[in-house]
Amino acid sequence: MARLPYLNPEDLQEADRDLLKRMITLHRCLVHSPGAARAFGTLGQYIRFGAKIDPRLRELAILQVGWLARSAYEWSHHIKIGHDFGVSDADIEGLIAESEGRQSSLEPLARLVLQGAREVYAGAMTKPTFDALREKLSDEQMVDLTVTASFYCAVVRTLATLEIDVEPEYRPYLERFPLPKPQG
């Protein structure tokens, strides 16, 4: 159960009701602060529709952060979104294998993107990983990848702190690809 109540459009000022175009639980909680919700949404929309990195690779980076954070919300939502942008079930299985230190059938660039996302999640991308990615990606794509992984680190921490619930329609993704048990 979320730590704050979920709001509905009628709970908001008329000028802020557009913030609930998508009635997902995350948005319904974030709108307690319309300014923060709007800023959050602006960067999220840029990442999804404006970033110059390949959409499949972008979604793999986001999924990597969700996996590491054990974020049921992020993981389930971005499995669905990832499927819409070309992520296959085999890609997800590859991500899980790579995260566990096992070999996968993912191509080298996808493995590098996942490595970079893991490093950003841990604090910062290392020079060797950054340099290897820079051989394959433009400077603009490097910034977009870094901002994507960094933003989703903030997203998973927001989800965890506010204890945002996974909507029922996203639960089947967690059944198909369950998260590991929490560490510790």
* Angstrom distance (rounded) from CA 55 to CA 86: 8
The number of domains in the chain is 1
pTM, whole model, 2 decimals?
A: 0.97
Domain of residue 69, CATH code:
1.20.1290.10
Helix segments in 105-176, DSSP class H: 108-122, 127-134, 139-162, 171-176
| % pLDDT > 70, the chain | 98
Query: Would you call 17 exposed, middle or buried from its count of C-beta atoms within 10 A (0-12, 13-18, 19+)?
Result: middle
In-domain check, residue 1: no
Give exposure, 103-113, as e/b (b: 16+ Cβ within 10 Å). Answer: ebebeebbbbb
| Residues spanned by the domain of 120 | 48-176
* pLDDT tens by residue, 121-158: 999 999 999 999 999 999 999 999 999 999 999 999 99
Helices (H), strands (E): how many in the chain? Answer: 9, 0
